[in-house]
Amino acid sequence: MIPGRGTEEGPAFDVNRLARPSILKRAEYVPGKPIEEVAPESGISSVIELASNENPLGASPMAIEAMVNEVRTRSSAYPDSLCQALTMKLAAKLGPSPESFFIENGADGVITIIGLTFLDPGDQIILSDVSFPAYGNIASKMGATVVRVPLRDGFRIDINGFIDSVTQPDRDHRRNCRVRQAGGIHTRRRAHRVGRGLRGLCR
């Protein structure tokens, strides 16, 4: 319920009647505790946050200098949403055309855009049992079904488990299969195994 400017009878409107069902059904995301909270609770003065990809050595002086310079010279200008200067440099260094690169605000931003673009209610997304939460988060927001495949011994991705978990939904007479392996290190041989296993199921 959102209070708003309601009357004596109650709030202005009930958000539960307006929100998409998939949003109301999804579990609340509980982020990890920040260092400022963990340190006093644990009694440890020196804490390194590994789960959030933080650098215990601090930011690079070159990165700090670049950010400060950007604030000084460009803080009054609207940023280039296409990151054209960056994509041009990446293209020159790596080879593909500038249009081949997609720049977003971290992995969360990329995963969110992929989910918004490709996932529909009832679609299936397959993840390893231990995976980056962003995949499951966007899937549940879009009303997709999340199928989790347990890890094998040695904390390895179960390739056969991924393949066996794929169903063959028929939507507008088209089969749609979307499989995302998240976690672990995958060789080209293992990636080819997934491709061969899905051949004929997806088109």
Task: Decide: 100 and 88 in contact? Cβ < 8 Å.
Answer: no
Confidence grade of residue 35 (pLDDT, cut at 50, 70, 90):
confident
For residue 170, the SS3 value is: strand
The whole-angstrom separation of Cα 199 and Cα 203 is 8
Q: Which of 179, 203, 183, 176 is nearest to 193 (CA)?
A: 179
Query: Which of the two residues, 72 and 187, has the higher pLDDT score?
Result: 72
Band the pLDDT of 168: cuts 50, 70, 90. Answer: low
User: Are the CB atoms for 100 and 154 separated by under 8 Å?
Assistant: no
Predicted confidence band of residue 37 (pLDDT cuts 50, 70, 90): confident
What are the tens digits of pLDDT across the range 43-95? 888 888 777 777 888 889 999 999 999 999 988 988 888 899 999 999 999 99
The two three-digit tokens of residue 91, written as one number:
């293209």
- Asked whether the predicted pLDDT for residue 196 surpasses 60, the reply is yes
Burial 163-176 (b: 16+ CB within 10 A, else e): beebeeeeeeeeeb
Annotated domain spans of the chain: 122-132+145-203
- The answer, as to whether pTM is greater than 0.75, is no
pLDDT band at residue 32 under the 50/70/90 scheme: confident
Residue 116 pLDDT > 80, yes or no? Answer: yes
Q: Which of 20-29, 47-56, 143-152 has the lowest mean pLDDT?
A: 47-56
Name the average pLDDT for the chain. 80
Counting residues of the chain whose pLDDT is more than 90, the rounded percentage is 26
Given pLDDT bands bounded at 50, 70 and 90, which one contains residue 200? low
